[in-house]
Amino acid sequence: MSIFEFYSESQQPAPGSFVFDQFPKELKIQCKHIWNEFFAKGVPDGEHTAYYKQIARVLLKEHAIDNLPNVFYQTTILDRINIYFEGLKDVNRSLDIVQLLCYAMEHVPEFVYSRGYQFVSPDLGQAAIAEINERFRRRGIGYQYAQGKIIRLDNQLLHQEAVDRTFQLLNAPLYKNVNLEFLTAHDHFRKGNKADCLNWSLKAFESIMKVVADTNGWLYDKGATARPLVQLLFSNGFFPTYLETAMAGIQTFMESSIGTIRNKQGGHGNGAQINIVPDSLAQYALYITGTTINWIVELQQERAATRLAL
């Protein structure tokens, strides 16, 4: 699957910023073509209906609808999902369909194995998802599918550095819980739950330090919070010695930034006063959490590689 570069496409200016309240009809049609083509290739003949039923069951239950539309003679279940998708006016519900179909494309190999068929390369599904993400990007629609979720791209730098890179580094089983917590933080941000976003950002930050401590055999209180965990990593020489002159400032920043943001804005009851967490603050917390996690994981990888070389 690929994008054919028409002349008219090459003449379109690059989007200056993302939009979040639109889902163009043309983009829906392109998404339909992509997953129709994928399922035609990726699911064995005779098994399409069984797989489409699984997808439809999830959609009917989660969208609280009794039936999918059937306006053509002898339409398949996927056709009916597509008709429903095209008719949706709500952007969020339309994104639900994209998320569900992308998730379904990711998990086709598992379905194929369960039905007794030979190996199906996951690359086919990843290529289809990559094309959908690229179509969204070209039209300036500020969402992408990653790690089983639709993620809102409020800041392109945030997405590239603190989402793509972080999820890539956290793919290893060792970081499974950290990955889940960081993904949950992003999911809360997408849904507008800014206080929960801060809470889960802090959980991910604390978890990555606990993973490092466990990996290196450093003892700590299982209920330890961010401050003592940061101190633990510093006291065990986890960070590069050539940064010693800068360590005091970095240590203060790491100890106070993520934990303090969470404690002041999202970690405690509000009492009589409503505590509103600004979007910019939640986004900043996500960014510094992601970049800090990236740094810690990469330092741990370097540490492990040095040990192997000895």
Tell me how crowded residue 171 is: count the other CB atoms within 10 A of its CB.
Answer: 11
Determine the pLDDT at residue 268: 47
| Nearest C-alpha neighbor of 179 from the set 214, 220, 149 | 149
Measured CA to CA, the distance from residue 104 to residue 112 in angstroms comes to: 12
Give, for 145, the enclosing helix (H) or strand (E).
strand 143-146
Cβ proximity of 149 and 99 under 8 Å: yes
Structure tokens at 270: 């509000």
Residue ranges of domains in the chain, CATH in brackets: 7-153 (no CATH), 158-309 (1.20.120)
187/191 Cα distance (integer angstroms): 6
For residue 227, how far is the Cα from the chain centroid? 27
For the chain, count helices (H), then strands (E). 14, 2
Distance CA 181, CA 197 (A): 10
Tens of pLDDT, residue by residue over 281-303, are 777 777 788 888 888 999 998 88
Rounded to whole angstroms, the Cα distance separating 263 from 17 reads 32
| CA 182/CA 149 separation, integer angstroms | 12
Top-confidence residue, 263 or 112: 112
Over residues 188-214, the mean pLDDT reads 84
Cβ–Cβ under 8 Å, residues 57 and 162: no
Token couple for 296: 């810690």
Q: Identify the DSSP state of 241.
A: G
Q: By the 8 A CB rule, do 272 and 295 touch?
A: no
pLDDT tens digits for range 13-53: 545 567 889 999 999 999 999 999 999 988 888 889 999 99
Distance CA(53)–CA(50), nearest Å, equals 5
Q: Where are the beta strands (DSSP E) in the chain?
A: 143-146, 149-152
Residue 95: partners with Cβ closer than 8 Å, 6 or more residues away: 23, 143, 150
Higher per-residue confidence, 247 vs 188: 188
Question: For position 273, what pLDDT does the model report?
Answer: 45
3-class secondary structure, 143? strand
